[in-house]
Amino acid sequence: MQTNLHIQADTLYRFIQIHPRLLVLTGAGVSLASGIPTYRDENGVWQRGTPLQHEDFIKKEAVRKRYWARSFVGWPSIAQAQPNAAHQALAKLEQFGVVEQLVTQNVDNLHQVAGHQQVVDLHGNLQRVVCLQCGNKTTRAEQQKRLTELNPQLASLQAEIRPDGDAALADDYFEYLQLPTCLVCEGVLMPDVVFFGGSVPVERVEACLTALEKADALLVIGSSLKVYSGYRFCVRAKAWEKPIILLNPGNTRADELAHLHIRADGGEVLTELVECFCSQPHGNCED
């Protein structure tokens, strides 16, 4: 007797037989099992504090101090996070030739750690730090080292971890924070990500649309699609008459556009999907 999980994976497997080239879009729900919190619940309802606005970071030193103090405490949780079953299954599906391009709204680098090769970080990547003046890039690990050297009083702090490497710290810790500057031009440093209200670089969006145009279908995993930067690909897929599959436990913004909505945990279904491919005569499931 088949379980509901088997039926869901088999449904997805049969869909892929007809639409063998997928563009996959992943959201925060994919990294939840790796210990990284999400901003919204499974139905897309906001459940965290007010997000940092892109323009505020650019214009206000106090906002930058607040961000880097909280990031200093929260960064180890991102740096030490490990890929979960969903990341690993997607990397395997890429090896099978099923996932031609993966676009992630996450900034945690876990798809790359899992071994996925073709990844577009739609909203950037926390592993990098960029100078707003000259564009020079360094690693987040180097930024952590410099923050520690300038602010040894922060080293022992602990706090509740929030999404994207943020941490809940009282305002008292921000005022006297010393911020590292660019080693090339002494400019302002920013994580190489797009904060709320910021714009995804045009060339990045165009690369994703080119990949979508070549794909047979769009598979969205672990995203409520509340943010337009990801939802736009569903709109375009619908306009191009490419079927959309949603793999998400709760409701999404694209429910009415979708060919199918599988309401389940992405990691479980994707792991079972890999087994569907492995069970075939020419399945290659060696680690």
Residues with a known catalytic role: 123
Q: Is 234 annotated as a binding residue?
A: no
Q: Is 182 annotated as a binding residue?
A: yes
Two structure tokens written together for 71: 């990031």
Q: Is 131 annotated as a binding residue?
A: yes
Distance (Å) of CA 271 to CA 7, 93, 104, 247, 264: 13, 10, 19, 13, 12
Question: What is the DSSP pairing of strand 119-121 with strand 99-104?
Answer: parallel
Two structure tokens written together for 264: 């389940």
Distance (Å) of CA 2 to CA 230, 261, 283: 34, 19, 21
Angle formed at CA 245 by CA 95 and CA 235, multiple of 5 degrees: 110
Q: No. of H helices and E strands in the chain? A: 9, 9
Two structure tokens written together for 108: 């945690």
**Which residues participate in the annotated binding site?**
131, 134, 182, 185
**Which residues participate in the annotated binding site for Zn(2+)?**
131, 134, 182, 185
